[in-house]
Structure formats: structure tokens, C-alpha cells
Structure 1
Amino acid sequence: MVPLRILAPLPLLALASSLTAGPAFAADENAAGATADDTDPAEAIVVTARAQTLYRVRDTDVGKIPANPLDIPQSVQVINSEMMQDQGARDITDLYRDVPGVSANNYATVTYRGFSQDVTFYDGLRGDPFQTFSVPQLFTIDRVEFLKGPAGMLYGAGSPGGTINYVTKKPQDTFAANVRAILGGRSRYGGSVDVTGPLDKDGILTGRIGGFYEDYDSYRDHASSRTLIGDAGLSAKLAPDTKLTVQVTDYDQNLPGNRLRGIPVDANGNFLTYRSWNHNDPDDFIRYNGLVTQARLDSKLSDAISFNLAGRWFRYNEHQEYHEPVALKDTDGDGVYDTVTREYRDQHRHVEGLSFGANMVGKFTTGPFSHTVLVGADWYRELSTGTNYATRNVPALSLIDPDYRDSTKPDLSGVTPSLTDSKALRRGVYAQEQLGIGEHVILVGGVRRDWFDDNDYIEGESASEAATTWRAGAIYKPRHDLSLYVSWSQAFEPQDVADQSSAAGGPFKPESGSQWEVGAKSDLFDGKVQATLAAYRIVRRNVLQVDVSQDSVNGVDQLAPVGEVTSKGIEATLTTDLTKNWVFSVNYAYNDTRITGTVEGQSIDNSVGDRFPNTPHHQAGFWTRYQVAPIDTAFALGGQYVSNQLDRSGDRLKPFTVFDATISHDFKVFEAMFRIENIFDKYYATSGFTGPKGAYIGNARSWFIELRRKF
């Protein structure tokens, strides 16, 4: 762990020492976007017309060019820091209810328009330090951008359902600081500090320093979570229109009683044991440490030309010692599973990644046409090594009356570990033209060429391929705050390195995907009504599966890229100020993802019949906040509905509806927020794996109080 004192620029420490002399909290809230007509100067937490002033996003970088979401011919949703704060969001899982078409899959992955999504970007670059079993925290994040559907032309290889881009917090030109403390149920406690501002009188240098710590017990037996984050940034104005920003973030997590799988269910989705049951022993754990550094240079060469250069390096180490569920057993012959056999695993993972990106944007006009031209390139290399010791020489565990008193860690001295050692290399160049015709029409067209190389050094296998992807769209704006659009986009995804083996018939061409989407977006009444409506159809081809027409070779099944999957759906969102003190947000998504092309007698891996697992047909979410200005208090309520799903074993996962709420009050010296999650203590499954590994379950009822002071 890098000590925070090393990360902290000395001038920022001086700023932090002056916190008690900071300006009134109300001034900071008014600066967030409320006008003099909206807010009484004495009010603090009460900022009126929140959809119009705080939640509204006028520009996003998710399309590689800073643009109004209305000028992007694909569904885009942005959750900014103000909305995350109002909802009390701690990590990415708290935001799923706000984004139609996105639902929990497992750990840090999501189901995105029917497809498992595990490729994530930070400030437009690859380099995700939460790739496996840790969930991204939001302390360092300013906003989260969701670009729906394939984004191959913009980002290269990735999942066809969509792209998640985290925009990190940067140093600011004006001084701001906040301090938070948290206390809650299950022995929860923690706190954070965040300071930013100029470091010299001319504002040439600006900095940011932040620290976060949180500790709480899980509702699962002997499981808990401890997270420590240190974050810092430094910006320098090298010229009036040129800025260099350097950032470093250190993550440290200790998760005793983990790695947590789910709770086994029967074919109808009934849980086979109580919610607190844990397949791990008390001395099992996950320990994670990640370090990220990145730098970005932004420069405006003229009114017509600007460019940016960025680099990101990360590494993480993860050590896991845990008991993996293997098989369900009926030991007393009554037809009901009552025991699970287990495998003990001792795993070490080390992942290191390096990425670069460059973009140049030109804006000019020719006669009645306006042009925005983007050219860019990106490069990414990831090295991954691992060691896995595994043995089934451990006792089974009762589902009904587990005995955790004695450690069952076996002696691994005679166990031969399995090893992983691989390299993934991605390179791409792209160009896009955004053509404006008059005031009402925008046409978009782009092309990208990608190359990738994968190497499995343990098996001595490698695969190389290239792919070209395209993007096209048209937008019609009958008025400046309403856009109607249609788009077509492509994506591709290389096959897993393990499936590229020549022994299995590889190497294989990457999976390919394309999407048609039509929709409408609005920003009516100067942002008081923000709405989107989209309909889409995604086709994913070259899905690998076992070719049963061929005999296995030396015990290795032969693969063939003969699969096709089609996802169709509609999505709708609405965020509006019902009154200047009452904001309301609601969304709905329908999705139908099915296997539409295969060979008789074969089935696509991780499918159930013609359906994919963890793909609910219906999702809905809402959030509303009402503020009572005379008493400086705000009341909020949110909810999420997810229809039934199937897990990978074909077992049904029941639909669920859960609610949470917050109450915020300003005590003048500080603001307090009380948050309660899963108000009615619903016992429910968010997604599923296989029978013995069970269904991943939503958090039991929990609460915390957060005290905030802003300066």
C-alpha cells in the first residue's frame, strides 16, 4: 500500500489544514448549478430543480468527442456524481437500477442488453483493475457513462451489449473539500476526505488528494469487507490551452470469509438453505492490492483543431484461499439436497496492463456543411500470470447445520499447481466524420481497423487476427432539445485464448456483432424533462461451440464457430422535476436474447435451450427525491424490479422487487444522510451460476448514517 503521505502534494496538505475556516456549505451547493431564483441563500442541502441543474449532463466523452448526448446516434446514459451522492451509492452495483438494460451477472460483470459484459474503460482507456472478484468502488469516480450496443468502431474488441466508461475525478481550478464519516449496521464504520484546488497563486498547478476507508461485516457467516483507497492527482497548465494531468490510485481490499459464491436453489428457484450460509471456512479470504497511474495531455491548437494523448498503467495482485462448492448431495435419501462437497483452492493472480490512446479532432465548415472529424489510435497490452493449488481432500459442508469450528485447510505440499501465463495485445486505428447539415440534420460515419495477438505461454499457443468495424448513424433534430436517430454499429471480440488451441481446431476468427437501433432523446424545458426511448436488434455471430460431428482428439473436444445469438429489446428512461422541490426518475427495459443459429444436436456453451442465463425479460427502476425546504430535509425512495431468469444449470431464478430509501438533513455545521437498503429484507437472487455454486443473492437489509461537511 502506498502511504497517503507520499501521495499528497504538500500544498494540498496546507489546504486541508484550513478546513475549519472554509466557506459556508450552502455556497458550495449553490455552485453546483442552482440559480439565485431556485435557492434561498440560507438553504444548504436544498437545491431546487435537481434534474435541470444537478443531474443534467450537457457533454460526454463516451463517443471519443465531447458531445451533447442528443448528438450521439446511440443510446447513452450518464450517472454523475450529484446523483450518486443523492442516492448514497457506494459501488457500481448501486447504480444498476438506474440503467435500463443492465443487470447483475456475477462479481464485477454485468449482463448488458442480454450479453455478459466484462470489458470496462477508464477515461476512455482500457486498464480495469477490477477484472475478477472485486467490485469497482465509486470514491474516485466523477461519473459513469453507459454507451449501449456495440462500440467496436470506437473502442475495439469488446462485448456486444455495450460499454461502461468510468470518468475519474480530476484536480479542479477552484478550492473544494469534503469530509465524510460513516457508521452503520453490521459493525460498519469508515470515512473519507477529498481536497482539490490551485497550488499556486496563478492557478498554473492544481491538485487533488483523497482517502477512503470502510469496514463492515457481511450478512454471510464470518464474511466481511475492508477497503482502503488512496487517490491523488496533479494538473499543470503548460500553455493557455494545454493541460497535463497525472493521477495515481492505490486500492487495498481484505475480504475475510470470501470468495463468496451463491446459495444453492432448486429447479423452481427456492433456496436450499438460509441466507447467511457460507461455503467458506472462517479463515478463508481474498486479499487484493491494485495500483493505477495515468497521465493525459489535452491541447487546443486552434479553434479548429484539438488533440489529446493519454496513457494508463495498472497492476493488481490477488491472493485467494477458499472452499469452492463442487456438488450437491442428498445424504439421508429424502430427495432433498442437504450437503455440498467442496474443493479447497489457493490461488495467486498477478495482472499488469499498459494502454495508450491518442485522438485528434478537427472542426470546420464547407459551405452549408459543418464537419467534426475524429482520427485516433489506441494500444493495449496485458500480462497475466497465476498459480492455482486445488484439492478435494476436504470435508463436505452441511447446508442445514454447518460446522465452522475447525479449520479444514489441507496440506498442499504434495499438490502440483496449475499455472497460467498469457499476454494479450490490442492495437487499433480509427476515423469518424460527423457531418452537420443545416440546423436539423447530423450524419455520422466511422471505420476502425484492429489487430490483436494472444499468447498462452504455458500451452505454447498463439493466435493473431485483424478485424474492421464500421459505424453509421443519422440524427434529425426538429428542435434543439429533441433528437430522433437511427444507427448501425459493429463490434468484434477475440475468442478466449484457451479456445484458440490447435488441439481444439483453432485458431478461430473473432466473434462479430452488429446492431440496428432507432430512438428518440429529449432535453425539454431547459432540462427539466430528460427522456430517452430506444429499440434495438443485436446479432452476435461466430459463437464457438463443441462440434459433435467430429471426434475428440487426444481427449480434447473439437470446436467450431457455428453459433448465432440475437438480442432484441426496447428501453425507456425519464428524469424530470415534477416541481422545483420534487425530482423523479424512472426506467424500463425489455430484452429477449435467444440462440437463433446453431447446428442440430449442438448447443452454445453457457446456454439453456435457446436462452442465455442471467438475461431477464423485464427490468424497471425508479428513484424520487422530495425536499422540504423550510426544515432543510430531503426524503428519497428508490426501487428495482427484475423478472425471472435462468441460471447456467437451467434452474429458475424468481423475480424480485426491492426498495431502499434515504433521509438527508442539514444541521448547518454538517449534513447527515440516513440510508436503508432492502427495506423489507427481501431474500432474493440477483443472478445465477451453476447448481452447487448457487444463485448470487442481493444484500440483506442494511443501513448506515453518513455525516458530510463540505467547504
Structure 2
Amino acid sequence: MHSLLFPSPRTPVASAVLSLGLFMPLHQASAQAQTSSVAQAIRFEIAAQPVAAALDQFARQAGLQLALDPTLVQGRQAPALQGPYAVRAGLETLLQGSGLQGRMEGGMLTVQRQIQMSARSLEEITVNANQLGEITEGSGSYTPGSIATATRLVLTPRETPQSVSVITRQKMDDFQLNSIDQVMEHTPGVSVVTYDSERTTYYARGFAINNFQYDGIPMLRDSAYSAGNTLSDTVIYDRIEVLKGASGLLTGSGDPGATINLVRKKPTQDFQGHASVGGGRWGSYRGELDLGGALNAAGNVRGRAVVAQQKKNTQQDHYSRDSTVFYGIVEADLGPRTLLTLGADHQNNKPMGSTWGGIALLDANGNFNDMPRSFNNGARWSRWEQYTRTGFATLEHSFDSGWVAKLQLNRQTNGYDSNLGSAAAGFPNPADGTGTSMWAGKYVGHTTSNAADLYASGPLQLGGREHELVLGASMTNRRWKNQGWWDTGSYDKNIGDYYQWRGNVPMPAWGVAPDFSNDETTRERGLYATARWNLRDDLKLITGGRWSSYVNRAQLLDESGVFVPYLGVVYDFHPTYSAYASYSGIFKPQSVQDAQGHTLDPLEGTNYELGIKAEFWDGKLNASAAVFQLQQDNYAVETGGMTPSGGTAYRAIQGVKTRGYELEVSGQLSPGWQIQAGFSHGIARQQGQRVSTLTPSNQFSLYTSYRLGGRLQGLTLGGGARWQDKTWGDISTPSGTPMKHTVQSYWVLDAMARYEFSKQLSASVSISNLLDKKYYTIFNWYSTYTWGAPRSVNISVNYKF
């Protein structure tokens, strides 16, 4: 049995300590004081959180030493323990329903499994943690305990030599962040560009974010005819992690801006759940039901089911979207050291009055076309229905040696069925509204992605020290099938007076056969390895690499034997502070050709990063400061010529560089006071000229909440602000000569409040865009713009089971 000693003055994040199996003394007290304290009534102040952290605080407050087997507590949650308790009674309350029991002897606190009676035999129950890091649900925190997004190693934020921003379950609940778009608006260093009513794109460090992960499994976003992953509802996720910079070690192909990892909720040992209903401005409403717990008496089979229904109405005339989400997951302990997980999710999005592209940016005179925020350029019949179907399975086994083997399988289908009509083409004449016509198209298709990842991780003894090693292999097959109709023949696309447009036009008579179709399969394979070398107690070196292949026959792409390196070092120069440096890479095949008809080499990205991280108050507060440089080589630019097949010819140049810095702090400033704040600065240049100007050079965000005490106990107040610098891009003009259009900088303020009538019942109010700031983003390809959402108020009532 591996045990841990927990003394009290200093606790690095407890869950990370447990998962790494490190021995760390945390409390020294006399045996006499320890013994007498067991019989005394002590006032405990312990929040609801993972069992490991709760036991650590309990031992410190009770004056005990704690010896604990890490495998016993992984994935388990403890309730709050507040007020005066005899030590033994307090311990029993803390462990109630966990399947564990405590024993105090000679000033030492030990924890062991409860013996479960069954009809056949006595059975031991072990719950694993899926090697994804610490669950944030129930922690009450805006910072995670540990994560595994960057390297597959389960590390604390301080131990990770790369910038990572995490939106925890608590922050999503506080500010009612029910969509990925809302989460990204709250994520430091990420900007959101809205194309139309269904599509957004996220940017970090000057590059679009197209790399997504689900529980660490890479899934590349393909949004040519759909929103891809950005319509996901957050009700099924425990947290959303954003790894800044290149992430080719685990993702393979992609861009060097950032990777978004969506970590799903997990089943609980005890029965728990919540039901909530709410509504907001413009007649929107939402309902949720989330239930989880053991499915048998022994507790070795656990499940969770989540359902949410939302009707979203906005400021836009004749627009609405109905969304339905189902999620189910089951965990089964096949043995004391083997965990099987099966799950699925299902989401439908059915809008009406969808826009396709935004509002025409300029009028016929070349001036800004300032339309009301309620203006909807979509036809009333225009719809962009989308759906997601996901099934996943995980098998994990822990060996006596401390090694863990894990197989993950994921199958996801993103589909769409659209009839689109939008008054977005042309430049309206301000005198009579003429000069504008419709875009009209019908698209039906889906992308099915099958992914598998197999890896083993564990300790490695070398040079008298224990190190960590990860060896893995992954594969992904993506097949995109699409049919499109765009030739509407005699259909009249002229809309008449643009300023009187209300979307009342007939739908085109689409042809029986599509005008074009697509059927493409992309295959990616990879072998990866990561090692964390314990050079000294205060110095860790992380080395790794990935050997990748990428094949898409339809695009004549076949890249194999590509090596993507990873290197990081972390030096603890103070009990609170660490300095780090990292180098990571990524590559992305591209289908464009040169004048001779040769496909350009893949884009290659690198990320250099230097920084300092700090961990305060036993990991309850994390802070970081980083400087970075990103570079893309083999960047494609037009030559002005043509390819042999008649397409536009490109040439590869070496160098789009982005340099900048980032600051972030997240977690608990004091009991009941949570914060997440960040500032980012980055400028991208190509041969000395600014590029990626649709993303802001500077961004700031700060969100905080505070739980009041005394007579106002039960009340939580919060708020925040986000600001971004001006952006600009080249747009089309009535004269045909491109020009630059600038979007000015802007602030958006938000606020929230929650009152807990009891431990079960609470009510919340969330106000977005508190000061009703009027702002917009541009889609420079179409020379259109989209207004940001005006002030909205959402009220919800939540009941916990």
C-alpha cells in the first residue's frame, strides 16, 4: 500500500500530490495535543470539495497526521463540514456516503474502505479518476487542482510548463455560462468573432482555435458548412480547459494558437443531482435535470444522466433556436484496479430565421451601414439545423507497480441540414434601399469522426530517483459527406428596399439533384511519448515527441513521418514560485498548390514560452506570467499566377510570428472570494507587416464572486468586465478597391447574484452586458458585421437533491 503523510503548514494541491504518489510531510504536533484533540469539540471550516483535500484540512484543523492511500479517494467528493464537532463525529460526517471509514490512533489518522456486504461475499470498492485531473464540480473554486491537457501527465497548473486557462464548473454555474461561446468570452486571452446567428470562431495568440479535445481525445473542428463544436451546451462538462500555444504532442495537426479540452462530468458515489428552471429577456427559457449516484448496493457501478432543454430568443427579429441535450455515463469497477466507462451524448439545435453572414458592412456611398441591433437579414424560412451524436468508452487498469494503462474510444457525428437565405450581398443605397440581393443555398451533410487513444503511464526508477513516463498511440478517421444546392435558376434574389426587409420572401425550389457533393476522408495516426525527469527535488525536465501521419486522398495530401517535439523545464526557486520554459510544435497539412501544381508543405508551428507561476494557500490560488513567441513556417501567400489546373497559385514563405505576454490569476483570494482575471498582449507579423488583425492585440478580463456572511449569509454577489483592443481587416467596397475597416475597442460588464434559501434551494440572477454596450465584430471575407448581444437578464431557480 502506498501511503502519504499529510502535515499541515503547507499543502501543494492535494489531488496532484495523491496522483503522483509523492511523500510530503505536512504537519508536526505533539502526540499529547493530537490525542487530546480527538475528544474535544473543534470548530471546523471545511468547504465541499474532493475527499483528499477535505481530509487534509480536517487533519490540520484537528491536529492529526494523515496517512492515506491515493487510490482510495480518487473521484470521491466530501460534503462541507462547518461548525463545532467532536473530532470523531466530524470525521464520520466528512466520510459519510464515501464508502470509506476513518481510524484515529496515536495521533495518526488513517482511512480505509468500508466493508460492503453482498449476497455472495465481502467486496472492496475502488473508484478511479480517469487520469484527467481533479474534478472541479463541488470544489467551489475558480481554479483546478490538477490537469492533464498538455502532456497526458496529471500535473498541477504550477507544474505545467505552458499557459493554461480553466473555466471550472463553479464559474460556469455562477455566471450561467451555458454555451461554449459564453465560456470563451470569459476565458482570458481568447477572443470571439461572430460570423452569423449560428457560427463563431475563437482566436488565441493571433490564430484561430480549431483543435478541440473531449476528455483529452483530439477532435479537429471542421466548420465549412456547420458550427462544428461551438454550439455545444456546457451542462455536460465539469470544466473547460484552454491550453495556450502549440499542442502537437497530443493533437497532431492543427494551429499554434490554443486547444480547447472539454472534460465531461463524472458519476458520483452518492446519489446527488439538481433540477433548475429559468428564463430571460426576449422570452428565452431553460430547464435542466442532472442526477447521479451508485446503481447497485455495492457501489461499484455508478451512473449519471443529464438533460437540458432551451429555447433561445434574441434581439433579432423572427429568430429563435430550440436546443435539446441528453447525456449519460456509467462507470463500473470491474475489479479493485480496473475501471470501465461507457457514455453518450446527444444534442439537437433547431433555429428559425437563421442568418448567413452578417449585415452588409458598407452602404453604396462607402459609409458604415448602421442598422438596428434587431435587424435580421435572414429569410423567415432560413434555418440551419445542426446535431451532434457522441459515443465513448474508456477502459483503465492500475498495476501494482504504479503504472496505469488506459484505452479511450470516441465516435462523434456532427451533422447539418440547412435551407439558407440571407440579404447580405451588395451595398444598399441609403436613398431607396436598392442594390442588395440574397445569398441562397441548401446544404445537407455530416462529419463522422472515430478516434482511439491507448497509453500507459507510470513511475520509472533511474539514477536513484523516481521519474514519470507516458507511452501512447492514437488514431483518428474523419469522413465528411456533403450535398449542396446553390443554382436556384429563375429565383429572384433581388430583395427590393433593403431598409424595409422583414424576411418575407418565398423559399427557392431546390433541384432534385444537388449541384455539387463532397466525400472526403482524413486519416491521422500518431505515436507519442512524454517523460518527466526528476532531476532534483526542485527541478523537473519534461521531454516528449510525436510521430504523426496525415492522409486525405481527395486533397492529394499524404504526410508521414512528421516529428513534433515537446520540451519543458520547471524550477521551483521558492516554496511558492516556479520558473518555467517550454518549446512545443504543431503541423497542419494544406491543400493549396504552387504554379507547378505541387502541393505546399504543411504549415509548421512552434511555440516558445518563458514564465513564472505561483501557487498560494495550498493551491487554492494560482497565478502565472508568461512571454511567448509563436511562428508559422510554410505560410501560403498568393503569387498572382495560376496552377496548371486553373486554380490560384501560392508560394510558401517562412514566417508569421506572434510575440506577446500573458498574465492570469485564478482561485480563492480569501474564504468565499473567488476570482479569475487575465491580461494578454500579442502582435502577429509577416515580414514585418501586421497580420491576424481581426484579433485584438490586447485583452483584459476580470470576473469575481463573493459569498457574504453574517446576516447576509447565503447571498453571493459577483461581476466582471472584459475589454478588447481595436481590430481591423480588409473589406470590399462599392468601388471595388479593398479598404481597411476598424472596429473600435470596447468594454462589456456583467453581474450576478445568488441567494441560498437552504442547502437545497437557491435562486440566481445573471446580467450580461450590464451597461448595454453596443459593439460588433466583422467577417471580412463577406464584408459583413454582426452586433454583439444587448443587455440581457436571466433568472433561474435551482434545487439540489
Q: TM-score of the superposition, structure 2-length normalised?
A: 0.77
Q: Secondary structure at 2:648's aligned position in 1?
A: coil
2:655 matches 1:557: no
Deviates more, 1:627-636 or 1:423-432: 627-636
**What is aligned with 1:574?**
665
Residue of structure 2 in register with 1:525 after alignment: 617
Question: Is the counterpart of residue 30 in structure 1 residue 45 in structure 2?
Answer: no
Q: Distance in 2 between matches of 1:301 and 1:284?
A: 56
Corresponding residue for 1:620?
700
Contact (CA 8 Å) 1:546, 1:558: kept in 2 or not?
yes
Q: Which moved more, 1:468-477 or 1:106-115?
A: 106-115
- How big is the shift at 1:542? 0.8
Pairwise CA distance, 1:288: 1.6
Q: Are 2:562 and 1:474 aligned? A: no
Residue 641 (str. 1) matches residue 723 (str. 2): yes
Write out aligned runs for 1:234-633 (5 A). 234-266=330-362, 270-324=368-422, 327-331=425-429, 339-391=435-487, 393-397=491-495, 401-404=499-502, 406-413=504-511, 417-456=515-554, 461-496=556-591, 499=592, 505-548=597-640, 550-575=641-666, 577-596=668-687, 610-629=690-709, 630-631=711-712, 632-633=714-715
Question: Following TM superposition, by how much is the alpha carbon of 1:108 offset from its aligned partner in structure 2, in angstroms?
Answer: 4.4
User: Are residue 86 (structure 1) and residue 174 (structure 2) matched?
Assistant: yes
Structure 1 match to 2:146: 59
Which of these residues, 674, 678, 690, is aligned with residue 769 of structure 2?
A: 678
Cα distance change of structure 1 residues 537 and 435 upon mapping to structure 2, 3 Å threshold: same
Provide closer, same or farther for how the CA distance between residues 366 and 646 of structure 1 changes in structure 2, counting only shifts above 3 A.
same
**TM-score, structure 1 length as denominator?**
0.87
- Worse-matched range after superposition: 471-480 or 433-442: 471-480
2:553 match: secondary structure: strand
Query: Which residue, out of 128, 136, 140, partners 2:236?
Result: 140
The Cα RMSD (Å) is 2.8
Query: Partners in 1 of 2:430 and 2:183 — Cα distance?
Result: 44
**Deviation at 1:202?**
1.1
Matches within 5 A, 1:90-109: 90-106=178-194, 107-109=199-201
Task: Report if aligned partners of 1:595, 1:611 keep a CA contact under 8 Å in 2.
Answer: yes
Cα offset, 1:142, TM superposition: 0.7
Q: CA deviation at 1:397?
A: 4.1
Name which one, 1 or 2, has greater alpha-carbon Rg: 2
Query: Which residue identity does 2:48 align to in structure 1?
Result: N
Q: Which whole-Å CA distance do the structure 2 matches of 1:504 and 1:212 have between them?
A: 54
Deviates more, 1:29-38 or 1:150-159: 29-38
SS in 2 for 1:352: strand
User: In the aligned structure 1, how far is the partner of 2:561 from the partner of 2:762?
Assistant: 54
1:702 aligned onto 2:782: no
- 1:52 positional shift: 8.8
SS state at 1:55 partner: coil
Closer, same or farther in 2 for the Cα pair 1:229/1:614, shift >3 Å?
same
Of 30-39 and 550-559, the range deviating more from structure 2:
30-39
- Contact preservation (8 Å) 1:51, 1:529: no
Whether the 8 Å contact between 1:452 and 1:466 is mirrored in structure 2 is no
Q: 2: CA distance between counterparts of 1:567 and 1:98?
A: 22
**Match of residue 104 from structure 2:** none
- d(CA) in 2 for partners of 1:250, 1:129: 17
Structure 2, unmatched stretches of 5+, are: 1-44, 62-79, 85-136, 732-739
Q: RCO higher in 1 or 2 (8 Å CA, sep ≥ 6)?
A: 1
Check the 8 A contact 2:148/2:154 in 1, yes or no. Answer: yes
Query: Secondary structure, in 3 states, of the residue corresponding to 2:182?
Result: helix
**What secondary structure is seen at the aligned counterpart in 2 of 1:159?**
coil
Q: After the TM superposition, which of the residue ranges 254-263 and 635-644 deviates more from structure 2?
A: 254-263
Question: What is the identity percentage for the equivalent residue pairs of Structure 1 and Structure 2?
Answer: 21
The CA deviation string for residues 410-447 of structure 1, in whole angstroms up to 9 with x for no partner, is 22238851211101100000112110122100011112
Distance 1:178-1:476 versus aligned 2 partners, 3 A rule: same
Task: Report if the CA contact (8 A) 2:212-2:221 is conserved.
Answer: no
SS in 1 for 2:529: strand
Deviation at 1:547, TM superposition (A): 2.2
Give how far 1:78 is off. 1.8
Looking at structure 2, the residues matched to 526 and 409 of structure 1 have their Cα atoms a distance apart, in angstroms, of 61
C-alpha displacement at 1:348, in angstroms? Answer: 0.7
Cα deviation for residue 690 of structure 1 reads: 2.4
Q: What are the ranges of 5 or more consecutive residues in structure 1 without an aligned counterpart?
A: 1-26, 43-49, 598-608
- Alpha-carbon distance in 1 for matches of 2:188, 2:769: 20
- 1:138 is displaced (CA, Å) by 0.4
Is 1:656 the counterpart of 2:746? The answer is yes
C-alpha distance after superposition, 1:510-561 (max 9, x if no partner): 100111100011111223432110100011011122223x445353222222
2:760 is aligned with 1:665? no
Superposed CA offset, 1:309-363 (max 9, x none): 00000113201111245532243679xx875322211111211110000111121
Whole-angstrom CA distance in 2 between matches of 1:585 and 1:647: 31
What SS does structure 2 have at the residue aligned with 1:183?
Answer: strand
Alignment partner of 2:184: what SS? Answer: helix
Match of 2:265 in 1: 169
Aligned to 1:183: 279
For 2:298 and 2:727, the matched residues in 1 are separated by 58
- SS for the counterpart of 1:401 is helix
**CA-to-aligned-CA distance 1:123-144 (integer Å, 9 cap, x gap):** 1113468843252220111111
CA distance in 2: counterparts of 1:40 and 1:294, whole angstroms: 39
Q: What letter is aligned with 2:272? A: A
The whole-number CA distance in structure 1 between the counterparts of 2:159 and 2:671 is 27
The offset of 1:289, in angstroms, is 2.1
Provide the aligned length of Structure 1 versus Structure 2: 657
Would the alpha carbon gap of residues 160 and 128 (structure 1) be closer, same or farther in structure 2, given more than 3 Å must change? closer
Contact 1:180 1:191 in 2 (8 A): yes
